[in-house]
Amino acid sequence: MTMAGVAEPQQERSRRSFAKVREASLQLLLERGAGFTLADVSATASVSIGSIYGRVGSKVNLLRLIQGEELDRIDAELAAEMSDAAEVDASFDDAVHAVVMAAVAPLVRNAALIRVFMTLADDAETAERGRESWEAERIAFCHALATVTESHGVAASAQTLDWCHELVYSVTARHLGFGLAIGGQPEAREIMPTDALEESLAETIRLVLRGAAEKV
């Protein structure tokens, strides 16, 4: 990934060195949140701080780079799982459950990192990249759920699909502590075990879809 303010290395040795910087930055983010310094990255990666500054210019640019790369990865995971869920050959109830699981699972797997990214939202560029991922997730979810409803003959408007997404994302975000902070660091607010949460959300979405279809 390339971005403004970051000089991508051209030589193999420099690429390996910069990869160590990225790995160290990600490690520190997960261990400490965003409260580390470039000197900490230098010590963890065993790469000179001068070299790091020469590549990224500032800690802000480094954080933007790491966030962008990791959200690209999470976006790809979620899109793939949503696509698979949309094609599940199953009953309506099981197909809806598959879509809900595909929405929840990547967020659960990456919850610790996403919570850290939430603390970076004061930076406009970082916040915008987060919104892009949220919108990509919304579109993928609504498309997968639309595929399921169409294949099972259940009428669902775009508004209904959006509402289903709002329910799933908002409850999952609350469950995982996205946007909640104590002492500056977000913490999870586990509502129930994740598998029970998925089942409860799937049942709610089935009821919403059936209720909306009856009104058509």
Distance CA 63, CA 56 (A): 10
Per-domain residue ranges of the chain: 12-57, 70-215
User: Given 1.10.287.70, 1.10.10.60, 2.40.50.140, 1.10.1470.10, which CATH number is that of 12-57?
Assistant: 1.10.10.60
What pTM was estimated for this model as a whole? 0.86
pLDDT over threshold 70, residue 5 = no
Q: Residue 55 has what pLDDT?
A: 86
- In tens, the pLDDT along 157-211 reads 999 999 999 999 999 998 888 865 444 455 556 667 888 999 999 999 999 999 8
Measured CA to CA, the distance from residue 64 to residue 118 in angstroms comes to: 12
* Interatomic CA distance for residues 173 and 184, integer angstroms: 17
